[in-house]
Chains A and B, each alone.
Chain A
Amino acid sequence: LNQPLLTAPDTLLASGARMPLIGFGTFPLRGQAARDAVSAALAAGYRSLDTAMRYRNEDAVGAAIAAGTQPREDLFVTTKLATDQVGYEREALAGSISNLGLAFIDLWLIHWPPGGSPGISSWRKLLEAREDGLVRSLGVSNYSIEQIDGLITATGVAPDVAQLSWSPIEFDPVYLDACRERGVQVSAHSPIRNTPRDHPVLTEIAGAHGRSVPQVILRWNIQHGVAAVPKSANPARMAENLDVVGFTLSADEMAAIDAISPHVSS
Chain B
Amino acid sequence: MSSLTQLQSLSHLPVADAVRVAEIGYTAVIDRFTRRLSLTDVSANVGRSVGNAGGSPAAFPELAAVGSPVWQEGAVWVFEERHTHGPYDKPGPVGFAISAQASGTQGAVAATVVLDEPTPRLRRHASGLSGALEAALALIRDGVEARAVAAAYHDAVGRADLAGQVPATLGVPVVAGAAHTLRVDAAKGAVLREGESLALMAFARTEDGVITFGTTIRVSSDGAQRLDGIPLRLIELR
Contact = CB atoms under 8 A, between A and B. Distances in A.
Contacts of B115: 115, 117
A86 B238 contact: yes
Nearest to B114: A115
B238 A56 contact: no
B8 A31 contact: yes
B229 interface: yes
Interface in A79-121: 83-88, 99, 111-112, 114-117, 119, 121
B237 A115 contact: yes
A59 interface: yes
Interface string B1-39: 000110110010000000000000001001111111000
Contacts of A111: 31
B231 interface: yes
B34 A115 contact: yes
A84 B238 contact: no
Contacts of B7: 56
Residue of A54, A85, A114, A142 with most chain B CB atoms under a 10 A cut-off: A114
A30 interface: yes
Contacts of B31: 54, 83, 111-112, 142
A53 to B, nearest CB: 10
Given A56-B229, A84-B230, A84-B231, A114 B4 contact: no
Interface residues of B, number: 23
B4 A59 contact: yes
B235 interface: yes
A130 B36 CA distance: 33
Contacts of A30: 8, 11
B236 interface: yes
Contacts of A121: 238
Contacts of B113: 115
A82 to B, nearest CB: 8
A114 B229 contact: no
Contact of B236 (A31, A59, A86, A116): A86
Interface in A56-91: 56, 59, 83-88
A88 B236 CA distance: 10
A111 B28 CA distance: 12
Contacts of A142: 31
B113 to A, nearest CB: 8
B237 A117 contact: yes
B238 A114 contact: yes
A142 B34 CA distance: 14
Contact of A115 (B4, B229, B230, B238): B238
Nearest to B88: A115
A54 B238 contact: no
Contacts of B229: 56
Nearest to B35: A116
Given A83-B30, A86-B238, A116 B231 contact: no
Contacts of A117: 115, 237-238
A92 to B, nearest CB: 10
A115 B8 contact: no
10 contacts: A31-B11, A83-B30, A83-B31, A84-B231, A88-B231, A112-B31, A112-B32, A115-B115, A115-B237, A119-B238
Given A59-B5, A116-B34, 16 more contacts: A30-B8, A31-B11, A56-B7, A56-B8, A56-B229, A83-B30, A83-B31, A84-B111, A84-B235, A85-B231, A87-B236, A99-B4, A116-B33, A116-B35, A117-B238, A121-B238
Closest 5 CB pairs of A and B: A115-B237, A116-B34, A112-B31, A114-B237, A86-B236
